[in-house]
Structure 1
Amino acid sequence: MRAVTVAPGVSDSLRLDEDWPEPAPEEGAILVQALAVGVCGTDQEIIAGEYGEAPPGQDRLVLGHESLGRVLEDPTGTLKPGDLVVGIVRHPDPVPCPNCAVGEWDMCRNGRYTEHGIKGLPGFARDRWRVQPRFAVGLDPALAPVGMLLEPTSVVAKAWDHIERIASRAVWQPQSVLVTGAGPIGLLAALLGIQRGLSVHVLDRNKTGPKPELVRSLGATYHTSTVAELDFAPDVVVECTGAPVVVLDAMTKAGTNGIVCLTGVSSGGRTIELDAGALNRELVLENNVVFGSVNANRRHWELAAEALARADQSWLNSLVTRRVPISSYADAYTFTGSDIKVVLDFEQ
């Protein structure tokens, strides 16, 4: 069996193992044939040796957390052979903490959670994998070309879920949304904003390539200015770049009672000048909220599956800008300037 693996903490240790062991029954009752895995910046950071953790007793980690497969067997009857399925990435910690105990493992409080292809669990970039029924999400058959988008969609489904929970503090009648960044997360965040009937604006520095048209065909407005130069104060901001200047501008741009959700992760190591007093005044006097959001629990994965099923399938297909066969695996992890979502294809 083929598997794409790394030695965690060792830079540039990526390789294709041709005789990787079959998935152990302990991994889960549902046996899945891999169709594809999506590639993202997390994979690149693990390949660079920045983080990553192999399963206990192993020295290599199978990559891949944006999964898509087809059920081979499920003795539990949860799914049927032939069904499309995606594996939930994060598993609760073994203690468990109060949040993990009630299925809110995305809000784990002690950090002892595990994650497929990232932390302590083998990933999905292998010919076959297993999953427990509680971590298996069935997909509409129409999503076969793009089902690997479910993982990033679950991230923004959680973001919107928490935005709406925070908004319940008062009467809320949002009109406009600003999404900063037009990568996969940003575009999917914009999709979910459009599905909510909101006026969506997407800001990105790319003036050419597929991003402007993808935003416009979604029914949103595309901007290439800075956040500060925008001539409106959005009710909601979903920040997807992690760029420090953009993050700070987003925090001060939201309108009265505005909600700013930070989904981008900054790399650190850079300082910028900040008027902390002015920022404090803005947030307090406008009753604004800034919060961070990462990962997702099963409820968000199910919301994401519903959102993708409602979306225009040709638009979703356009997000996948490269499909790389497993035989050319290294090419999938080398991004180009025009990439949006790169997919490692196990069927080619």
Structure 2
Amino acid sequence: MTAVNAYITNAPGGGIKYEKVEIKDSPGNVSLKPLMTGICGTDRGMVNGALSFAYNPEGYDFLVIGHESLCVVTDSKSEKFKKGDMVVPIVRRPGDCPNCRIGRPDNCSDGNKHEAGITGLHGFMRDSFNEFDYNLVRVQDSDLGEVAVLTEPMKNVVKAFEVFDRVRSRFIYENVYSTFDGKNALIIGTGSEAFLYSFLARDYGFNTFMVNRHPIDQIPTELCNTFGVNFRDTSKEPEFPGDMKLDLIVDTSGDPATIFRFLRKMNHNGILILFGTNGKAPQAGLSGEDIDFIVERNITIAGSVDAAEVHYLKALDYLSKWNRLHRGMLNRMITNKFAPGELGLFSKKPQGEIKSVIKWD
């Protein structure tokens, strides 16, 4: 057993503590020290007892939370990594279903997988831990620096766009020039993943809108302007101009009422990607007319969760490209840095938050 300082909850009931706990030693061949661990809606959902699917590891009455992490190798018995390497740990660990066996636990077909910091496996919000080398992705681009902590949320975005690419193959989705010029994408929410979804939608060539029911501060505004994203505060202004139709919607809120509100604005052959989760969101009814609208317009609704190693690698490629094109802007997504021990940020978002992190060094 090893004593570590860690953020813990009791899943799925919730609560949050920062204290020294005893954890069984991992046989992993790479020793790690976290540099930064990101905080996301999943962490807050677990702390607030809103995610019924979360659970403690077997034999423990607590779960170390944290699944977004940038780490440095402190010791290695692996030929793949050396001391000083920067790495990102993979969150989802495979079970024994066919998808898991081919390296795609993100598409686990029986649910018998684990997710670090979420389902039955201690997470990364602790001052040290060991991992097997096959659960780590190296950060090759040293220029990324702290931006690499965004790899975990970015890999979810890459995976969702893989789903989009597969779904759109069922019809001719592009325009007559085989591009996305003239196509409209709507991203619901203004968290870190909403921004990353917006940036990738712009990369695809979509005319991209991001919406929320409140205004955004200076930094989010500058990010939108830099990447060419149109933000709309729906409490004060229309979601988008005139009678414009939507070809792609990505929801990061998990709020059914908001999703259904925009669903009726979709174009023929539109694609709706559901990513956000919010187990305590109020119910919202789906009418027969809504079903008619979906069917008659050939609309596809698809859920997307987590990602595989290939998506981490592509995520790092996108972050490197954007970091070169817009020097310093991705760093501005990290809006708050806290020392270990801060608890209040798990129950309430800091003002203007895009991404809050625990900085361990």
Q: TM-score normalised to the size of structure 1? A: 0.90
Question: For 2:129, what is the secondary structure of its paired residue?
Answer: strand
How do residues 197-276 of structure 1 correspond to structure 2 at under 5 angstroms? 197-209=205-217, 210-225=219-234, 227=239, 231-268=243-280, 270-274=282-286, 276=287
Question: What is the CA–CA distance in structure 1 between the aligned matches of 2:214 and 2:223, rounded to whole Å?
Answer: 12
Q: Which amino acid aligns with 1:67?
A: S
Range with bigger deviation, 185-194 or 137-146: 137-146
What is the deviation of 1:13?
4.2
Deviation beyond 6 Å, 4+ runs, structure 1: none
Question: For 1:15, what is the secondary structure of its paired residue?
Answer: strand
Cα 1:116/1:271, change in 2 over 3 Å = closer
1:103 aligns with 2:103: yes
Cα 1:88/1:192, change in 2 over 3 Å = same
Question: For 1:14, what is the secondary structure of its paired residue?
Answer: strand
Q: Which amino acid aligns with 1:271?
A: Q
Question: What is the CA–CA distance in structure 1 between the aligned matches of 2:164 and 2:242, rounded to whole Å?
Answer: 22
What's the counterpart of residue 59 of structure 2?
57
What's the counterpart of residue 177 of structure 2?
none
What is the deviation of 1:79?
2.1
What's the counterpart of residue 155 of structure 1?
156
Q: Which amino acid aligns with 1:6?
A: T
What is the deviation of 1:91?
0.5
Q: Which amino acid aligns with 1:48?
A: N
Cα 1:266/1:229, change in 2 over 3 Å = farther
CA contact (8 A) 2:209 2:240 kept: no
CA contact (8 A) 2:209 2:229 kept: yes
Q: Which amino acid aligns with 1:222?
A: F
- Gaps of at least 5 residues in structure 2 are 175-179
What is the deviation of 1:65?
0.5
1:279 aligns with 2:280: no
Q: 1:178 aligns with which of 177, 182, 186?
A: 186
Question: What is the CA–CA distance in structure 2 between the aligned matches of 1:208 and 1:68, rounded to whole Å?
Answer: 27
Aligned residues: 340
Q: 2:196 aligns with which of 188, 195, 210?
A: 188
Range with bigger deviation, 289-298 or 189-198: 189-198
Question: For 1:257, what is the secondary structure of its paired residue?
Answer: strand
What is the deviation of 1:273?
4.6
What's the counterpart of residue 170 of structure 2?
169
Question: What is the CA–CA distance in structure 1 between the aligned matches of 2:73 and 2:191, rounded to whole Å?
Answer: 30
Question: What is the CA–CA distance in structure 1 between the aligned matches of 2:279 and 2:315, rounded to whole Å?
Answer: 27
Question: What is the CA–CA distance in structure 1 between the aligned matches of 2:281 and 2:329, rounded to whole Å?
Answer: 37
1:310 aligns with 2:324: no
What's the counterpart of residue 33 of structure 1?
33
Q: Which amino acid aligns with 2:264?
A: T
What's the counterpart of residue 24 of structure 1?
25
Question: For 1:79, what is the secondary structure of its paired residue?
Answer: coil
CA contact (8 A) 1:7 1:14 kept: no
CA contact (8 A) 2:255 2:281 kept: no
Cα 1:332/1:346, change in 2 over 3 Å = farther
Cα 1:31/1:230, change in 2 over 3 Å = farther
Q: Which amino acid aligns with 1:265?
A: T
CA contact (8 A) 2:45 2:278 kept: no
Question: What is the CA–CA distance in structure 1 between the aligned matches of 2:113 and 2:275, rounded to whole Å?
Answer: 19
Question: What is the CA–CA distance in structure 2 between the aligned matches of 1:251 and 1:99, rounded to whole Å?
Answer: 31
What's the counterpart of residue 11 of structure 2?
8
What's the counterpart of residue 43 of structure 2?
43
CA contact (8 A) 2:38 2:355 kept: yes
Question: For 1:142, what is the secondary structure of its paired residue?
Answer: coil
Q: CA RMSD in A?
A: 2.1
What is the deviation of 1:228?
8.4
- Gaps of at least 5 residues in structure 1 are none
Question: What is the CA–CA distance in structure 1 between the aligned matches of 2:49 and 2:285, rounded to whole Å?
Answer: 31
Range with bigger deviation, 147-156 or 165-174: 165-174
CA contact (8 A) 1:244 1:266 kept: no
- Which string of whole-angstrom CA distances, capped at 9 and with x for unpartnered residues, describes residues 303-337 of structure 1? 111111111352211111110011x4214424224
What's the counterpart of residue 143 of structure 1?
144
CA contact (8 A) 2:72 2:85 kept: yes
Question: What is the CA–CA distance in structure 2 between the aligned matches of 1:57 and 1:346, rounded to whole Å?
Answer: 27
What is the deviation of 1:102?
1.5
Q: TM-score normalised to the size of structure 2? A: 0.87
Question: What is the CA–CA distance in structure 1 between the aligned matches of 2:275 and 2:15, rounded to whole Å?
Answer: 27
Q: Which amino acid aligns with 2:173?
A: W
1:91 aligns with 2:93: yes
